[in-house]
Structure 1
Amino acid sequence: MIFKKHFLADTHWYEYEIPMYDKVVTAPRMVSWFEDKNNIEAGSNTQELTKDLRNIRQRVEAEIHVKFNAVLLNLYRNGQDSVAWHSDKTDKSGINPIIASVTFGETRLFRLRHKFNKEIPQVEIPLHHGSFLLMAGTTNSFWQHQVPKTAREVLPRINLTFRQVNKPPNII
Structure 2
Amino acid sequence: MSDMGAKPDLRASHLAARAALEPSARAAAGRSLRDHLLSAPEIEMAGTIAAYASVGGEPDTRGLLFALWKRGAYVLLPLLLPDGDLDWASYEGPDSLAPGPRGTLEPTEPPRGPGAVASADVVLTPAVAVDRSGTRLGRGGGSYDRALARVGPAILTVALLYDGELVDRLPAEPHDRRVRAAVTPSEGLVRFP
TM-score class, shorter: under 0.3
TM-score normalised to structure 1 length: 0.26
Larger Rg: 1
Higher RCO, 1 vs 2 (CA within 8 Å, ≥6 residues apart): 1
More helix by share: 2
